[in-house]
């Protein structure tokens, strides 16, 4: 653990009850907070003996601004700010803090101008992916160490088998339980190779729901045997592989909890029964963020939610909004044996951070690895792999979405005759005067959003324009985004569709090479599309 304070000499009996219970709490820390807010958190850490903090970008980011009404600030110095804040908060702590973050695809998930790696869904498209996934986890782990972070709340072990899932989707390795498990284990191994703690989430599986638990309580209405056979499988594999912690999602799973209203985060049957007794997990259990509306809006009395979660078997209460009240209620009413057991598990986790040595000084360069991933994830969805390009081809190139992304066509232009067509956003059809019926069309689609809400960021007019283009003959499509977007298009077997998954320069360059016949496709769609 990156701290000047040495707690390795402290025994478990050296701590007061207040200090032990304080270790259960992990409030949010925001990189772009005001000095007043920073000072308030410093005081909380010092006076309440807080055990850890989880970093988020800002109070306007998706982690707190669920309705999206606040403007997210841009701070090109976020990474430097993060490191300074970690030093300040560690200085305020009597017992060194566990510093956590969500870095599923790198620090870039929360911090501007830091290395970004492909989404899990992209990695899931690679055949025989574990070695590359391990390298991704390893490099992300190295970046966490460079920043002073000990705990990455990853990998996502959810099996995404619902195309309308608003919160998991691209964050999952796919819909095949064995591939999800294999890749999640590889990612965790990569993190652990750098001394970074990992967490399997969101137990018992958040993939098969169309409800966002930030806003409401999703219901997974499957039988116990179905869950054991599918959703629980990746978690079992991660537990077998020695995952450091398991994060409990805010889900209603009546076949495991006994009713439709109790969130799994507050279910003793789920945590102490299914997870610990039946699946044999002995490590730290952490809650998903307790500010999420699936749970927070049902417990208006300060501290009650934290107390209920602790009594259900949660060790670390992530994003607790009422730590003072929660600490006092656990001290006053908590079972002393449960308090000791949770503290011992947390202390063992912290000690493992101290034992890891070495510290990276600089962040990784993601480009070489991203290029290899781009080559091996490229996926043919429709049509044939055979190149349709000839030296005499006169193509019309149409790009829709993300106007700033130009590399794809720039890489193609030197090799063939292609005319880029600019279409105004209000345009709902393409006339013969703009593109002749016999002209082959290369359609590059860059969805503005990776999430399904609002048709992935496209207006109805833009979708109508894409449908009009696809009604023509000889249309080749390259998608730089979430493959589930293709469900919104009227595709048929004659359409040649290639999925590149990401809009990174490396993925655009590989897609251009494929279009020009310079490379072959080896990726496979990690989820099912259509009916």
Position 2 confidence tier, pLDDT thresholds 50, 70, 90:
very low
Q: 102, 212, 244, 288: which is the annotated catalytic residue?
A: 288
In angstroms, the CA 206 to CA 216 distance is: 13
Indicate if 250 belongs to the active site.
no
In angstroms, the CA 506 to CA 250 distance is: 36
Which run of H or of E encompasses 381? Answer: strand 379-382
Of 8-12, 64-68, 202-206, 440-444, where does mean pLDDT reach its minimum?
Answer: 8-12
Cβ atoms 211, 162 nearer than 8 A? no
Token readout for 213 is 């638990």
Place of tokens 């209405």: 221
Closest CA to 235 of 194, 199, 273: 199
Q: 57, 150, 206, 214: which is the annotated catalytic residue?
A: 214
pLDDT over threshold 50, residue 1: no
106, β-bridge pairs: 104
User: What's the confidence (pLDDT) of residue 4?
Assistant: 42
Position 65 confidence tier, pLDDT thresholds 50, 70, 90:
low
419, β-bridge pairs: 396
Tens-digit pLDDT profile for residues 414-423: 999 999 998 8
For range 358-383, the mean pLDDT: 90
Cβ atoms 394, 369 nearer than 8 A? no
Tens-digit pLDDT profile for residues 487-513: 999 888 888 999 999 999 999 999 999
Indicate if 214 belongs to the active site.
yes
Q: What is the total residue count of the chain?
A: 531
pLDDT over threshold 70, residue 481: yes
| pTM to 2 decimal places | 0.95
In angstroms, the CA 228 to CA 232 distance is: 5
Using DSSP bridges, classify how beta strands 379-382 and 245-248 pair: parallel, antiparallel or unpaired.
unpaired
In angstroms, the CA 315 to CA 338 distance is: 9
Name the percent of the chain in helix, strand, coil, to the closest 5.
Answer: 40, 15, 50
User: What's the confidence (pLDDT) of residue 355?
Assistant: 63
204 upstream amide cis, omega within 30 of 0: yes
Helices (H), 356-487: 367-377, 407-412, 453-456, 460-470
pLDDT over threshold 70, residue 44: yes
Q: Is 400 helix (H, G, I), strand (E, B) or coil?
A: strand
**In 150-196, where do the E strands start and end?**
151-152
Position 433 confidence tier, pLDDT thresholds 50, 70, 90:
confident
Place of tokens 């039946």: 278
Which residue ranges form the domains of the chain, and what is each CATH number? 26-355 (3.20.20.300), 369-515 (3.40.50.1700)
For range 455-477, the mean pLDDT: 94
- CB under 8 Å, gap of 24 or more: what pairs does 336-341 form? 338/310, 338/311, 339/17, 339/20, 339/21, 340/20
Position 18 confidence tier, pLDDT thresholds 50, 70, 90:
very high
Tens-digit pLDDT profile for residues 220-279: 999 999 999 999 999 999 999 999 999 999 999 999 999 999 999 999 999 999 999 999
């Amino acid at each position: 653990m990156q701290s000047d304070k040495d707690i390795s000499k402290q025994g478990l009996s050296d701590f007061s009850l207040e200090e032990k219970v304080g270790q259960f709490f992990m409030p949010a820390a925001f990189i772009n907070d005001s000095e007043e807010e920073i000072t308030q958190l410093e005081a909380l850490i010092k006076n309440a003996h807080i055990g850890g903090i989880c970093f988020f970008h800002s109070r306007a980011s998706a982690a707190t601004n669920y309705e999206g009404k606040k403007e997210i600030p841009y701070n090109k110095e976020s990474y430097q700010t993060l490191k300074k804040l970690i030093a300040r908060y560690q200085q305020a702590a009597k017992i060194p803090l566990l510093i956590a973050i969500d870095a599923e695809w790198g620090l870039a998930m929360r911090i501007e101008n830091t290395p970004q790696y492909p989404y899990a869904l992209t990695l899931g498209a690679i055949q025989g992916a574990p070695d590359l996934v391990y390298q991704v986890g390893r490099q992300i782990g190295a970046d966490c160490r460079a920043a002073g972070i000990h705990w990455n709340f990853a990998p996502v072990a959810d099996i995404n088998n619902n195309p309308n899932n608003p919160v998991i989707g691209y964050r999952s390795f796919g819909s095949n339980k064995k591939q999800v498990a294999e890749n999640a284990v590889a990612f965790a191994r990569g993190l652990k190779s750098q001394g970074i703690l990992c967490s399997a989430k969101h137990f018992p599986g958040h993939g098969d729901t169309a409800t966002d638990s930030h806003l409401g309580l999703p219901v997974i209405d499957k039988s116990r045997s179905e869950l054991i056979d599918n959703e629980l499988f990746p978690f079992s594999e991660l537990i077998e592989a020695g995952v450091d912690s398991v994060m409990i999602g805010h889900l209603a799973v009546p076949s495991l909890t006994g009713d439709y209203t109790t969130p799994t985060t507050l279910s003793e049957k789920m945590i102490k029964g299914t997870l610990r007794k039946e699946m044999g997990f002995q490590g730290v259990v952490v809650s998903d963020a307790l500010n999420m509306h699936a749970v927070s809006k049902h417990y208006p009395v300060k501290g009650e939610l934290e107390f209920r979660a602790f009594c259900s078997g949660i060790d670390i209460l992530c994003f607790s909004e009422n730590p003072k009240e929660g600490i006092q209620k656990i001290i006053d009413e908590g079972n002393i044996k449960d308090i000791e057991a949770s503290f011992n598990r947390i202390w063992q986790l912290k000690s493992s951070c101290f034992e890891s040595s070495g510290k990276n000084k600089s962040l990784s360069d993601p480009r070489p690895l991203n290029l290899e991933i781009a080559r091996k994830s490229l996926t043919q969805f429709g049509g044939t792999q055979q190149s349709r390009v000839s030296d005499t081809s006169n193509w019309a190139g149409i790009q829709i979405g993300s106007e700033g992304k130009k590399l794809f066509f720039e890489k193609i232009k030197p090799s063939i005759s292609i005319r880029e067509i600019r279409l105004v956003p209000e345009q709902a059809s393409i006339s013969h005067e703009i593109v002749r019926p016999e002209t082959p069309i290369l359609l590059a689609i860059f969805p503005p959003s990776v999430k399904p809400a609002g048709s992935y960021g496209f207006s109805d007019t833009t979708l109508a324009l894409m449908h009009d283009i696809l009604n023509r003959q000889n249309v080749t499509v390259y998608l730089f985004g979430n493959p589930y977007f293709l469900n919104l298009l009227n595709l048929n077997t004659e359409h040649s569709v290639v999925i590149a998954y990401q809009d990174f320069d490396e993925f655009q360059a590989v897609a251009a090479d494929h279009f020009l016949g310079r490379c072959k496709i080896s990726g496979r769609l990690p989820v099912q599309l259509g009916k």
